Chain A
Amino acid sequence: MLETDKLTEDLVRQVVREEIEKAFKKDKAARRAAIIASKGTLDWAYPPLIVATAAAAASMDAAIFFTFYGLNIIHKDFEKKLKVAPTGNPAMPMPVPMPDVLTGMPGMKAVATGMMKSMFRKKGVATIKELLDVALELEVRLIACQMTMDVFGYEESDFIDGVEFGGAAAFLSDARKSHVTLFI
């Protein structure tokens, strides 16, 4: 007689349930996040760094793949490169309503960037530098897209210490093992 003949349906269900729970716990992908950071403005530098550091704080392995303008975030000159432009961004809060012809005037980018930085400081939001430091400390992998580096003429030495280099295949290899994948 087969062993299974002795099992009642309830027992089978219980065993299956336990095995599924065990499989979920063993699922390494639930503990991994793979993020693409494609934007190079001050405001858009925040989301990938915040999500990745929060993931790392929750004991996840997180990797951010910086491509196109996203390379600004990990460039040694990120403080200067990350700006915010009020022109064409109706969502950006301004002290007084301004038409695009005015927000497009020389110097407005610097003004808007300064405003955003001081507002963030006043509210207690971490700086990009602080988030990068935390990311490296928590072993978030920062990967620069080699192809866009070549297009923009960047060298490996242009980036902050700790940055790795790779291509789409490297990101996909991470992403296929991660339940959390984001394009930002």
Chain B
Amino acid sequence: MPEIKEDKVLDARGLLCPMPVVKASKEIRSLEDGQILKILATDRGSIADFPAWAEDTGNELLEWHEEASGELVFFIQKVEED
């Protein structure tokens, strides 16, 4: 799998619901169409929340995985609403 290159990183480790999506919604506003936000999280609820949030906001969840340490990594591409 090719490496995804992010334009910005959001460290949401240690935060619990709803703060990871709240912070992500703020960060993604500062990005331009097509740019990619990488999110680091430890909240297990994020596994369900980020795909749902991406769908609701029209942004694209490109990939997510769990590191050996248990940390969660999400790559979300900004899609400007038309």
Contacts and interface: CB of A to CB of B under 8 A. Distances in A.
Q: Name the interface size band of chain B.
A: 10 to 19
Contacts of B21: 54, 57-58
A111 interface: no
A34 to B, nearest CB: 17
B56 A58 contact: yes
A53 B17 CA distance: 10
Contacts of B15: 124, 126
Nearest to A134: B22
Q: Name the interface size band of chain A.
A: 10 to 19
A163 interface: no
Contact of B53 (A58, A123, A134): A58
A118 interface: no
A160 interface: no
A57 B17 contact: no
A53 B16 contact: no
B57 A124 contact: no
B24 A57 contact: yes
B22 A138 contact: yes
Interface string B5-34: 000000000111111011011000000000
A50 interface: yes
A56 B53 CA distance: 11
A124 B18 contact: no
B12 to A, nearest CB: 10
A57 B18 contact: yes
Interface of A: 50-51, 53-54, 56-60, 123-126, 134, 138
20 contacts: A50-B17, A51-B18, A53-B18, A53-B22, A54-B17, A54-B22, A54-B49, A54-B53, A56-B22, A57-B22, A57-B25, A57-B53, A58-B21, A59-B57, A123-B16, A124-B16, A126-B15, A126-B18, A126-B19, A138-B25
